[in-house]
Structure 1
Amino acid sequence: MLSYQHVYHAGNFADVHKHLTLMLLLEHMHSKPGSFSFYDSHAGRGYYDLASPEAQKTREHETGITAVDEPEKPKTAAARYVKLVEDFRDKHGETAYPGSPAIAQQFMRHGDRMFLTELHPGEFQHLLDNLSHYKTIEMRKSDGLEFVARLTKPHHLRGIVLIDPSYELKTEYRDVARTMMRALNNWSSAIYAVWYPILTDDRHKQMVRSLLTLGGSTAFETRLMAPEDIVGHGMKGSGLIVFNAPEGFAETLRSAMIEMKDLMFSPGAGDHTIVEGQPL
């Protein structure tokens, strides 16, 4: 099934959660010597226009990035993310929104590389149109989970792998867990971030238990829950399992997400929690 197009959901609260986390991981990689690679299993279009007919049909960005208030403090992680989006709009238009590949491109240095996979033919063409002028990016129209699972010879020893399927099919939860088992065996030193939607039927729970058990002390879950009045399409929250994060990263992310959720939802609304170690 290839019906999912992320443009309908671009800039929603789950994107803000995922992209702020990714930005912090990229900042860590960028600050250290030595080249690194970034892999995105489901790259989508690379970046989006929130004024497009698709984005306007659902208008999910209005309770996501569009709702974010201007941060009072200029140097916090939340403020850096807001500035990243604003800088991107200065180049691409006031309704542009950077997806994961466009965010990662802001941190690419000489010698760093990016590898993007996208199976949807229409989305892959948009990806080529948006990012093919960057010579450090390799794009493939292929199954992202299979690509990640086969990374036995990564381009660099250091790397970030983002796994973010649509979960259109319930089998994708099982497939993600199996992919991570193979990926950690093949490239154990990489940082992995696995995104998933938290739906009203809680279908994610078995996968989360499997991933946290697989990661043990190297993994933690970050979970952003939306206020009840903006929950729609059955999605009540956004989750990420992060493997091999830098030391102290969970606390850094905790502080950043508390600030961001207050800027996005209003102070005290919504909830963010981090669960470290193996599940109960």
Structure 2
Amino acid sequence: MLSYQHIYHAGNFADVHKHLALMLALEHLSAGTSSFSFYDSHAGRGIYDLASTEAEKTKEHQTGITAIDLASKKDSAAARYLKLINDFRATHGETSYPGSPAIAQTFMRHGDRMFLTELHPGEHRHLLDNLGQYQSVDISRRDGLETIAYLNRPHHLRGLVLIDPSYEIKTEYRDVARTVMKAQSNWSSAIYMIWYPILKDERHKQMVRSLLSLGGAKAFESKLMAPAAVAGERMQGSGLVIFGAPETFIEQLEAAMTDVQQLMFAGEGEHIINKGQPTGNHPLII
């Protein structure tokens, strides 16, 4: 199914959750001396205009990035994220918003590489227009899960894999778990970040159990639950399962999400961390 276009949801609270975590991981990778690769399974168009007809139709950004005005702690992750957004807008316009590929591009150094897949023809064209000028970026119109599942020769030893499909098709939950299982067997040194929506029917639960079982003690789940006034009828929260994060990553993410809850939700909502158990403690369900 190729109907999903992220422009309708760009900048919402789930994007803030995902992009803050992504920024923290990229800060870690870019602080190292060796080169790294970034893979995005569902890259979208890379850059969004929050004043577009599509974004204004849903106005989801108004309870997301647009609701965040100022970070009180100038050295906090939330403050760094807002600076990243403001610096981006200084170049691309005051209503622009960077998607995951554009955020990753700000951390690319000489020798680093970015590999973006996007199957939707219209979004792929936008992606080429927005990021195709960078020599370090490889853009392909391919199935992102299939690409990552068979990634048996990664460009670098270090890297980050972002998997964030729309989950319009229920089988994508199963497909994501299978993709990560295959990818990890080929590239175990990478950081894996799997995003999913938390819906009322909780259809994500089996996938999360499988992922935490697969990752064991090296994996954890981060859930940002929106307050009732923001959650709406379907999406109640935003979830991430993260593998292979740096040692202090959980503490950094918890502090960042505490700041974001205050800035975006006036302290309401809830951020929950669930840590994986040692491998073998739970059966793998895929």
What interval of TM-score do these two structures reach, taking the shorter chain for normalisation? over 0.9
**Which residue is equivalent to 1:62?**
62
For 1:23 and 1:66, locate their aligned partners in 2 and report how far apart those are by CA, in whole Å: 18
What is the aligned partner in structure 2 of residue 32 from structure 1? 32
Letter of the 1:264 counterpart:
M
Which residue matches 2:48? 48
2:119 match: secondary structure: coil
Partner of 2:218: 218
Gaps of 5+ in 1: none
Match of 2:271 in 1: 272
1:198-253: CA deviation from partner (whole Å, max 9, x where unpaired):
00110000000000001000100000000001112400000000000011111111
- The aligned residue for residue 121 of structure 1 is 121
Match of 1:81 in 2: 81
Partner of 2:241: 241
Aligned partner of residue 29 in structure 2, secondary structure: helix
Pair 1:262 & 2:262 matched:
yes
Question: TM-score with structure 1 length normalisation?
Answer: 0.98
Cα distance in 2, alignment partners of residues 214 and 35 from structure 1: 27
Moved more, 256-265 or 102-111: 256-265
**In 2, distance between residues paired with 1:243 and 1:210?**
13
SS of the equivalent of 1:135 reads: coil
Aligned partner letter, 2:186: N
Matched residue SS, 2:115: strand
SS of equivalent to 2:139: strand
1:69 shift after superposition: 2.6
Stretches of structure 2 that go unaligned for 5 or more consecutive residues are: none
SS at match of 1:24: helix
> Match of 1:275, as an amino acid?
N
SS of the residue aligned with 2:238? strand
Runs of 4+ residues deviating >3 angstroms: none
Alignment of 1:128-207 (within 5 A): 128-207=128-207
Task: Give the CA RMSD over aligned residues.
Answer: 1.0
Percentage of pairs with the same residue: 68
Whole-angstrom distance in 1 between the partners of 2:266 and 2:243: 30
Letter in 2 for 1:182: K
State TM-score, norm by structure 2.
0.96
1:151 deviates by 0.8
Where 1:217 maps in the other structure, the secondary structure is: helix
User: 1:47: Cα distance to partner?
Assistant: 1.0
Residue deviations 1:127-186 (CA, integer Å, cap 9, x gap): 001011111000000000000001100000000000000000000000000001101111
Equivalent residues, number: 279
